Amino acid sequence: MSNKWLNKISSFFVSLKSQPMEIVLFLCASFSIIILFLMLFFVAREGAVAFSRFGSDLLFGMRWNLETNLFGGFPLLYGSIMVTFGALLIAIPIGVCTAIFVSEVLPFYLRDPIKSIIELLASIPSVIYGFIGLLLVVPFISSVFGLVSGQTALTASLILSLMTIPTIVSVSGEIISAVPKEYKEASLGLGATKWETIKTVVLPISKSGILASIMLGFGRAIGETIAVSMVAGNQAHTPSSYLEAVYTIPSFIATHMGESAVGSLEYSALFGLGLILLIITFIVNTLADIVVKRGVQHG
């Protein structure tokens, strides 16, 4: 067994050596892996001190207090989940419906323009979303619900949903468009209406792709920093309603990194939170990949 492996590896490198350019190309391709490892290593290294001090309390402890050197991040995790859940609640129905509509219902000449507008929506920078949120949504929420400040979990969810919808639409749209024409034509030929075709043929085939798009949307939403930090109110607690302010993990890191002294316990704790976020997004992205691959196999 191991001989076969050794043979494979050595022949691989022999073939590389024969063309120096291939080595360059190979290195460039491996760059992503190298960077990911470096990222994991360095973020973990900086967070190590905090983890050894607090262990799982870093994520599940209830209080984060600079003065008493107590770093518990549970309110932040709670805030992140609240805001992400709220955003997905809005973004999934809108995103999936839009993807179906654009890929199946819209006449050909409209498809590209509408897709382009949605792409433009995706490319708007986070800080501009936050700006618009502060300018328009925050006062709106505060007047509609009669609050002191419109910076709430609801506001953050609304803005975040706008940012997540394009992800869901583009990935789902691609999957739905990839359903082979023959399947649809067969269904229509058998007398089914377009809607029935969508329901019984297109959607089941695209199911895993749509699921993957939702997971990617989740990853996008949970990692969003800037826009959320501008509209969520930034209070680290576990509120009982969406009309209160929350703090998410990435926003917290962004606002507190500046003031923490390098090498201090707080600095390490922030990196620890970052590591947790990194691992969550790794898992979500890898799962999404697996879901798509499994779907392709079954479809």
Footprint of another protein on 231-260 (CB under 8 A): 234-238, 245, 250, 253-260
User: Closest separation between CB of residue 285 and another protein, Å?
Assistant: 4
- Contact status: 100 vs another protein (CB under 8 A): yes
The CA angle 247-266-87, to the nearest 5 degrees, is 20
User: Closest separation between CB of residue 249 and another protein, Å?
Assistant: 9
Pairwise CA distance, residues 35 & 44, whole Å: 14
- Contact status: 226 vs another protein (CB under 8 A): yes
Whole-angstrom CA distances from 171 to 86, 124, 129, 207, 218 are 20, 18, 22, 12, 13
Q: Rounded to 5 degrees, what are φ and ψ at 55?
A: 60, -135
- Contact status: 93 vs another protein (CB under 8 A): yes
User: Closest separation between CB of residue 298 and another protein, Å?
Assistant: 18
Instruction: Please list every residue from 174 through 213 that binds another protein, using CB under 8 A.
Output: 193-195
Instruction: Please list every residue from 11 through 40 that binds another protein, using CB under 8 A.
Output: 12, 19, 21-22, 24-26, 28-33, 35-36, 38-39
User: Closest separation between CB of residue 175 and another protein, Å?
Assistant: 15
User: Site size for another protein, by CB under 8 A?
Assistant: 106
- Contact status: 116 vs another protein (CB under 8 A): yes
Among 48, 85, 131, 243, binds another protein (CB under 8 A): 131
DSSP classification of residue 222? H
User: Closest separation between CB of residue 287 and another protein, Å?
Assistant: 11
Among 6, 89, 136, 186, binds another protein (CB under 8 A): 136
What residues have CB less than 8 Å from 37, skipping those under 6 apart? Answer: none
Pairwise CA distance, residues 288 & 215, whole Å: 6
Burial class of residue 220 (count of CB atoms within 10 Å of its CB; 0-12, 13-18, 19+):
buried
